[in-house]
Structure 1
Amino acid sequence: MTIDFSKTKRRGLIYIAIFLFLILLSFSFREIDWQSTPEFHTVIEVISMISALFIGVIILIRYYSKKNASFLFLGSAFVGTFILEGYHLLFTSSYFVTNFHSVPTSISTWSWFVPRVFLSGLLLISGHPLNETVVKKVTDKLVFGFIFIATLATILFFTLAPLPKIIQPDSLIPRPREFLPGIFFLSALILYLRKGLWKVDAFEHRLVMALIISTAIHSLFMPFSKQLFDPMYNLSHLMKIASYLLILSGTMVDIFVLFRQSEQARLMSEERFQALFYAAPSSVIVFDQHKNITFTNEQAEKTFGYSKIEFYGLALQRVLQTDELLGRDLDEHSGSLTDPHEIIGCRKDGSKFSAEVYLSSNIDGEELLKTAIIIDITDRIEAEETLRENNEKLKEAQRIANLGHWELDLLKDELIWSEQIFHIFGLDPGSFEANLDAFLATIHTEDRVWVSKAFGDSVKNKTPYNIVHRITRPNGEVRIVQEQCETYYDDLGKPVRSLGTVIDITEQKQAEDEIKRTNLILREAEQLAKFGGWEIDLNTLETNFTDGTLDIYELPYEDPPLLEKGIEFYAPEARPIISEAVINAFENNIPYDLELPFITAKGKNIWIRTIGKTGPLNGKSNKLYGTIQDITERKLREEALLKTEERFQLTINNSPSIYEVYDLDGVQVSVNKAYEDLWGFPASHTVGKFNVLKSQEVVKSGLIEYIKRAYLGESVVVPEYEYDPRGETEAQGKGRIRWLSTRIYPLKDEDGKVTNIVITHEDVSERINKEKEILKFQEELISSQSRLREAQTVAKMGSWEWDRVTRKFFWSVEMCRILGYSPDNVGRSYELVRSHVHPEDIENYDYQLEQATKHHSDFSIKLRIICVDKTLKWVFIKGKFLGFKNKMPTRMIGIMQDITDQEKNKEQMDTLQTIELAATSNLELQNIFEILVAQVLSLLDVDGVVILLKDEGQNKLKFAAGGGFYSLSAVVETNMKLGKSFAGTVYNEKRTIQSKNFPPKKRFTGFRKMLREENFVSFIGLPIITKENIFGVIEVYSRSFLSPNPEWLAFLETITSQAARAIENSYLITGIKKSNEELKLAYDKTIEGWSRALEMRDYEIRGHSERVTDMTVKLAQLMGIDGIELDHIRRGALLHDIGKMAIPDKILHKPGDLDDEEWKQMKEHPVLAYKLLAPIEFLKPALDIPHRHHEKWDGSGYPEGLSGKEIPIAARIFAIIDVWDALMSNRPYRDAWPKEKVLDHLREQSGKHFDPEVVDAFFEIIM
């Protein structure tokens, strides 16, 4: 019998819960004053009586199907109870009760009490272990007769005898006799619990619950019933029915199980039984009631060593050593097979062995025969021991590997897990349901559906499966497991069970994901930084490259270059440098870090930074490691930076802010003019001399800590501080104490290393001094409120006081004005003030106040507030704690100052600086316009901005940029004639025009109609003008009436001036570009003139230069050359024979062969070409063709005898074109060759005169 401990635990909890509930119910209803009707009681008793009869009959049927003493007593008990409760029902009716000798209440209580004693007594007997012995000695008829007589005697006793009254309403326990059946029920409950069958048997489980209820009826409810039909009385009767129904349901379940077992037994055929008996692999011994052997099978003879004749009549004790339990079964057992007994078998030769014995009984005629099935389990015991050891080893191996196994019975939906799986899933074996649904519930919700489908498909398709999925432990932790499963099927192909393993691969998966993530990040970093790595084995010269390196080389990933070829990618002038560096690294272990020009596989000229270092093996360097990075953009930026440095320095020098630049040692390297103006001495007195890290005044001011943070790479904003420069330098100048607002920024190189720091100062001495004066003034005038208010009004500063104990908040009249309140009409509180803080600043406000409170320090902050009229203001709040209690501040005073104007001025300065930086950073004009439009819309609080530029061709103003419109597409199409619009008037008169009644009330067509649809009512137009030129107009529009003050207009005019300077700079740059293009065109025309002049010396080659130039350009394009390099090839082709200008006509025009001296002079023309063109800087990149077009692939050419790829690609391309055109043309000394002959000649010279790759490309053009 297998006990499911999780089920046992659950049932035990159910019993405890029922008993606790009944206790609670008893005390809840005990004092309720309520009575039911006799009719209600009659209905309950009818139901109870019928239930008792039905239960008794069913249990007796169960008894006769498979006799069991407990069922005999249980069935008899309920049949007798039916009779007695029926009598109780009659006695308590109004008709019968008047004919009895006892009072009605006594009859009712006694007729209730006696059936309960009767039932509880028989239930106690049914649960006692001795009942089986009793049943064997008496017949069931005797039991029935005894019960019938007992019930009849009880009825007669009720009928004839006067019954005493047993209810004592005034007593603490009105019905003490009710405890007697309660004791019987409790005893029966204890007996059944000790038997333990309730753990596995459904009937006894329900019987135990019924006994709990019955015990509660007679210990918690009925003893406390004071009169008929009160709540305790009625609850007792209802609970009695509940207990009956529990026993009834358990009996039905038990009968169903018995029926199913009998059906299974019936299906076994006699023929199969006989075959099993005679051919059984186990020993079978049949013996009579005297325990003498009468029959054995063949296996018994083999096992025990006796012949069939020797066995016959042999005492069973000779072959089996019986224990007490087996001896009792041998004496008493009858029926089907017993549970197995482990015993010792004795062979004829005296040897013994371990055996397992099953007993059964049957009647042969009138003789009772018993059968013993004996199985030699010696091997099994040894195997079990080995298996136990192996299981322990397996468990340990699974624990180490974090791997478990499982088995699923698909027919019963029962799942068996190994111990390690419970550990992997974080589950308690006792709380696991052990079925497929319970397993699926542990799978992560996002994986559950597809895992279930994968298992279903595996079973359906009869294929194993191997999947990785997530599980969720009870504590919420997510783990990753790998699961493998295979399903087994019966002969009909029906799946019967699945076996599988589970391994926790969370850490492995996380490691794999981390490697993938790291590789992905590295690859992305290589691509973003144009960065790569490489490795060279110094022994084999084998190379390994990362993808980033091959991207820079512009080579396919599957074709990395060898060491020698890799060096050829460097520009010719860089090859000796990198070669020497690599050799030094190989031979002398000297690392290198170089920035060199580089030519990619596709001919692209770039700059790279390469770093190399050798790695040791056994004390020797055997590998060279390195990196390569494309720094072309940085080089271009450095060139651009050099060009813009002067403009930037000019901007810095003109800035009102103070700029200081320091090197890594803290030495000042640069300052601007504002620095000299502030301190009153020239820059030469401090630059190169003053060390910010060693200055005592810097240390005293506390600035040194912020400077150190900047040197570590952090941008720092320094709180306003007081600084005294006196004593820093020999020249004191105007060196007076100043208040400064300082920011410190690190300057970094391409590798992110700090190279310098920049310190910017704003001189806020005037504002700080003003604040000090106002605070001093405020302290002096506390007694005079009127003068204080006047000072606060002038400074836009209000005062306040906060009692943190009472939460009361007092503020001045000026503070009311700042917030927008009327002084006489506001409830003042701290919460009200806090509610005006801008939502984006509230967190910082609370934090700063908390820190000030925590450290008992002064509180100051600059933030935005939203006034009563919803306007936004900037304010400065400063507070000081005055009183403390228990180390906590109790009172705080302070000021609130409106600094909106200062903040707007600062924003305007930032805007001007943004636009200025955009104008001086070589941005496109359109980008500068977009920045300008955005700044105007943001700072000037207007609704629309348009920039119109003059179109010189059409004498109109055309749209250049704009923003703020509902529909910008209509504005983009704007074309305004000069003089016929506000913008035209602004342009012609070169002055600012403002209109508050806009647009004019005329016909709303075209642009005016669009403005009307935009709901604009105010307009301001300004000319975009410099001293010499006017470029266009800036227009601003507002959907409300504009009344700009002079500062507002001045700021708009300043922005417009910046736009004019940006346009002027852009036009200047455009003009320079145009001049360069014209100069380049002039060069090209001159070169073409030289080429035609050369052909005029020799009419036989007229058109040759033009033909070879066109074909050379086509062939170069086919081979991937483009851009400016293609222009150099075209110029080189035109000038390829420019050196022949120095060759005498007698040699050039000689009709026959040249002699040796003449050939010597003729071969000088490439050198003469080089000397002629080399001094011309513009033509240096085009020298490859004039200088080397007579070099040959095999090294037999002239003038230098170069070979292979030592010959520049341009010269190799031109060589074949030159020969092709020459052979296809007539010469004084020969006629032109046929085309096929020329092509054959070119093929034959491939690899000799010509580059084979160039020959292949040439034939693609020709064919």
Structure 2
Amino acid sequence: MENKKIKILVIDDNKDNLTTVKALVKEAFPDSIRLTAANGAAGIELAQSEDPDVILLDVVMPGMDGFEVCQKLKSSPKTHDIPVVFLTALGGDRRSRIQALEVGGDAFLAKPIDESELTAQIRAMVKIKITNENQRNEKERLAQLVAEQTRELEQIHSATLNLLEDLREENEARKKSEERLVRSEKRLKKAQSIAHVGDWEWNIKDGKEEWSDEMYHIFGIDKTSYIASLGEVITRMIHPEDLPIVLPSNTETFAEKKPLEYRIIRPDGSIRNIWAESGDAILDESGEPIFLIGIVQDITARKQSELSLLLYAKRQEKIAALGRALASEFDLEVIYHTAEGYIQSMIACPNFAFTLFDSQQGILKAAYVSSDGIKIDVHDIPPLKFNLQDTSSGRSKAIASQSPEIILDMKAKRKTGGGMLFGGAQEAQSAIYIPMLAEGQVIGLMELQSYQTGAYSFEDGEWLSVAANQIGMSIQNARLFSRTQQRIEELTALAIIDNAVTSHLSPQEMFTILLEQAITQLKVDAAVLFLFNPQSQVLECVSSRGYTLTSNLQIRLHMGESLAGQVALEKRMFHFTRLSAENAHLLKEESLIEGFEEYFGVPLLVKDEIIGVLEVLHRSKLNPDSDWLHFLEVLAGQSAIVISTLQLYEDVQHANKQLLKAYDATIEGWSQAMDLRDKETENHTQRVTEMTLRLAQCYGMSEGQMIHLRRGALLHDIGKLGVPDQILLKVSDLTDEEWTIMRSHPQLAYDMLSQIDYLRPAMDIPYCHHERWDGSGYPRGLKGEQIPFAARLFSVVDVYDALTSDRPYRPKWSKEKAIQLIKEQSEKFFDPIVVESFLNIFNEGMGSEEE
């Protein structure tokens, strides 16, 4: 895809539609080859001659409609693999969608066409086509390989027959040349040994048989203790399942020289594949047959090779299918379950698990475990502590070496190493641990265990590693996606609490919102809020959620009494796991009878003075990570602010300003994090923010507009958090595909910030600062005053700072050279009015070293 331009064929009888779709495709894929056809017949002809990567097909057309066109394309071997995407105004017609799928359509887009959906579909269809072509090429390669091996065996067989013919000729002349006969016999024995071909001779008159040495070897029989008898071999050694085929055909085989394939069971129990053919009868001087000769070949190796190639092809297809199934999945449980299904279909593994590695804590946690098809609760499996310097255990060795580790005998390993065990009463006897890699780091293991010893081989490790890395990338993407979503949800929760404060709700309404957000975001069963009464020195329960036996807790606790009292007294977080009768005295009675197993209590502090306690409880084990604990503390701090606001209403404006400063500090932290990520642009964000604010002052913007302008400038490159380091920090030229990913950062910024209410007014700059006055920019190709004014201001400042700063791929420009380029690009890239204002301020000193 990187070295080949995308070729897209659009078939539509409406010229306006053709123009529109072609323009959308050109904008999304500027380097693509765009073909158009005004009717179905012309479209089919173009598809056969040009072999496009994707066909965008209208349904309603005169003469031949889209369904008939698609059916003809899919019935032709030349165009069968080209993905077809239907474009039609019949988006809500369920029958049309079904008909499209029945004739072989790959996707269905409704008009008016959404540009992002069209782009995503084209990319997906191109990947599907490439995958189909790779699979077809692989199948052809395997078929060619099998054909070549078959030809080689046929050549060996032909050579053997020729040697047999030589032998017959030499037998006729043996009286004249005994030496030639001996040499031929030696050559024959050597050829038979190499080709695993044996021959036999049956004396028709006396019924005696003679076998070559290789015949004895093929059947696994001792030559010194066995009298050759082909009939007895057939009776004793033919595989029972093959007897019905061999015995009725034996007479035909001798009479018509028909070859047979069957299996034998040697005396040692091994099973071999046999190919057998009778030769010509040897006649006496009167023309009567006196001998019958035939050959037998051991074709076990060829059969095993064919089976291995077939198994390899099937596994490759399933691994490719696994990659497609996980490509757009971000639910970890679905990823685990889907991956298990594919792996189970390729290799026997009654015990299957995914374990995730935390390199900072040096522990391995079970994330998904199943035994004999039954899912096991991973909370019941304790994590393993690892020292990567000690590679005595299979798991640590797999992680340290970043390669599969096979345990042939787990019973012997358990005696020395122990470790995490899966399954029920039956113990696993062998295992294979395959590291999952993402960005060159081990993020966990895919673990397979068998009840048989020596169940897994080096070859298994090779193909399982390919699948494990695919799964690892999907897990990593899902975790990053989940983490981003969690951050957004947490910010949204804090924004909800902030909005509730400014809405002047009653205290009880505020308490309810606090506890509901705590339960929702922390994913716990219950939450309780205590307020401290400084006059009585008592903690009073003011609100609770999640208790099933009582809806209104009436609890008053003295300092140091119960867990909440100890939290308030010591002003620190308390955590208890698996609450039981042993520590019942630490928990209030109402919580004990609810069956909670996890408890967290956090002090609510204002200026180091206790004002309350927030408790969260759960009826099963939580296993919280550092992010969870951090948000609990943030939520506690937020709750303290809310409660303090309710108690001191006259200070609410001050509290709001502090909160906004915290948000702005967060934004500045994000911007600093972005600058630190790309050290070559360090302090770029602060410079362009200050310059943009100064430029905005020329237009008399209000204080509120300036605040949103500042936030937008600080977050202008927030979308680059979604661009991989290997692209963002790449020194050499980017490929077309890498440029596509790089140019997606404004859309990523929009996706991130649009879900945060208080940042929506600031999205103009992050979303539109790469738009150009002449409409040549991205992501939407806005033109002129369609571009938001804030983005027009910022784009001039951003380009000026970028040009006058050192970058990995070029040294910085002089200020004069940068100003000259900005003048030249006025009315092309930039708003001419903004350029004029920028130049005026620059001349006043904005471009000086001090500024």
TM range (shorter): 0.3 to 0.5
Structure 1 or 2, whichever has the larger Rg, is: 1
Higher relative contact order (CA 8 A, sep 6+): 2
TM-score, L = length of structure 1: 0.25
TM-score, L = length of structure 2: 0.35
